[in-house]
Amino acid sequence: MAVNFDLTTIWAFIIAFAVLMYVVMDGFDLGIGILFPTFQPGEERSQAMNAVAPVWDGNETWLVLGGGGLFAAFPLAYAIILPATYPLIIAMLLGLVFRGVAFEFRWRDPRHERFWDFAFFVGSLVAALSQGMILGALLQGIAIEGRNYAGGWLDWLSPYSLLTGVGVVVGYALLGAAFLAMKVTGRAEEHAYRLAVKAGIGTAVLMLAVSLATPLLARQYWERWFDWPNILFTSQVPLLTGILFFALFRSIAKRRRYRPFLLSLGLFVLGMIGLGISMWPFVIPDSITIWDAAAPERSQVFMLVGVAIIMPVILAYTAWAYWVFRGKVGSEGYH
């Protein structure tokens, strides 16, 4: 598992970072959408929506960076994964259409507010489920011939991909509940904490199930996780995950404001590390490495200059936007 820090490796980390940023940031947006029907129409739902209205667009941009970045840095991977998961990608995009317009449309048309609330829920659910299933489809392997996808158009559908799909849905629900617990007030706040417990339990169970199913999927995953001396390092991941879950449930029980969300983020980071252990150095497991898929060096250098200069600026103004809308979104002052 030697890591040689060449340009391609740096790019693999940049793409992984973009995907992680997307997963945690749009993860809580989508999670709120998934939990939306459990909030009372009216004030509770409005609070939930307001918690993310000013930032969802920025969060979703990380998906464009993940997709666009994959296209730019690893065009071969982009050209194989997208046709291989075609119906999932289309479903995700259409889900995001409904989710995205619901933010505006629900305020625009009060008579059909319930409809747009439903669209917000279904859109978020479909997008999250598709993303999780894309992950599963990738991990279970993709049929390739030459430089092209060579499988059928439903190869992605399997019990394993359904498991990862549900896992991501429930994981996003945890992020969403923990985020809402930070931002909303009144009954909605208490409701968010309770949801966080349920979603936390669900996430723990599903993370465990995926962790057990993955090494059974292919010999290579088994070796990576359980071969000596790898296991000395890899065993830290489940160990830390266990500790974080323990801390998460404690912080929810104590009704801490920020800690449940931060710990949920930590769980996703660990999930990403686990994914990295399973996949490295492949971008499509067992067939295409990051070096096989890499863009020409000139493309990598050109983009790296941009990322090095612009990414800190992006992170700075994104942080500023979050700062501007900090604090509870509650309804104090209107009664």
Partner 1 sequence: MDLDPTAIVLARIQFAFTVSFHFIFPAFSIGLASYLAVLEGLWLKTGKPLYLDLFKYWLKIFAIAFAMGVVSGIVMSYQFGTNWSVFSDKAGGVIGPLMAYEVLTAFFLEAGFLGVMLFGMNKVGKKLHFAATLMVALGTFISAFWILSVNSWMQTPTGHVMSPDGRFLPGPSWLDIIFNPSFPYRLVHTVTAAYLTTAFVVGAVGAWHLLRDKANPHARKMFSMAMWMAALVAPVQIFVGDLHGLNTLEHQPAKVMAMEGHYRSYPDGAPLYLFGIPNEKEQRLDYAFGIPKASSLILHHDLNAPVRGLDTVPDDQQPPVPIVFWSFRIMVGIGFLMLGIGLWSLIARWRKRLYDWRALHRAALLMGPSGFVAVIAGWVTTEVGRQPYTVYGLLRTVDSVSPLAAPAVATSLAAFVVVYFAVFGIGTWYILKLMHKPPHTGETQPGEDETAPIRTAGITPGPTQNPHPQGGREAFPSPAE
Q: Which of residues 155-214 bind partner 1 (CB under 8 A)?
A: none
Contacts of 234 (CB under 8 A, 6+ apart): 224, 225, 226, 277
Interface pick for partner 1 out of 7, 16, 101, 162 (rule CB under 8 A): 101
Phi-psi label, residue 141: left if phi above 0, alpha if psi -120 to 50, beta otherwise: left
Locus of tokens 């279904």: 122
Nearer to partner 1, 253 or 310 (CB): 310
Candidate segments 100-108, 199-207, 241-249, 252-260, binder of partner 1 by CB under 8 A: 100-108
Cα separation of 189 and 233, whole Å? Answer: 39
Lookup: tokens for 268:
């996703």
Alpha-carbon distance values, 277 to 8, 22, 107, 173, 281 (Å): 17, 20, 45, 25, 9
Interface pick for partner 1 out of 23, 32, 35, 65 (rule CB under 8 A): 65
Kindly identify the residues of this chain, within the stretch 25-54, that bind partner 1 according to CB under 8 A: 41-47, 49-50, 53-54
Task: Give the shortest CB-216-to-partner 1 separation in angstroms.
Answer: 30
Task: Give the shortest CB-5-to-partner 1 separation in angstroms.
Answer: 21
Q: Which helix (H) or strand (E) holds 274?
A: helix 259-279
Nearer to partner 1, 122 or 248 (CB): 122
# chain residues binding partner 1, by CB under 8 A? 84
Lookup: tokens for 116:
């747009």
Task: Give the shortest CB-236-to-partner 1 separation in angstroms.
Answer: 34
Nearer to partner 1, 76 or 270 (CB): 76
Contacts of 133 (CB under 8 A, 6+ apart): 85, 88, 156, 157, 161, 162, 164, 165
Cα separation of 319 and 315, whole Å? Answer: 6
Residue 58 within binding range of partner 1, rule CB under 8 A: yes
Binding mask 69-98 for partner 1 (x = CB under 8 A): x-xxx-xx-xxxxxx--xx-xx--xx-xxx
Kindly identify the residues of this chain, within the stretch 213-242, that bind partner 1 according to CB under 8 A: none
Give me the DSSP letters along 167-192: HHHHHHHHHHHHHHHHH--THHHHHH
Candidate segments 129-137, 217-225, 239-247, 309-317, binder of partner 1 by CB under 8 A: 309-317
Kindly identify the residues of this chain, within the stretch 289-308, that bind partner 1 according to CB under 8 A: 295-296, 298-299, 302-303, 306-307
| Largest CA-CA distance found in the chain, in angstroms, rounded | 66
Axis crossing angle, helix 187-217 with helix 43-52, rounded to the nearest 10: 60
Nearer to partner 1, 67 or 171 (CB): 67
Interface pick for partner 1 out of 22, 29, 36, 61 (rule CB under 8 A): 61
Candidate segments 64-72, 172-180, 205-213, 224-232, binder of partner 1 by CB under 8 A: 64-72
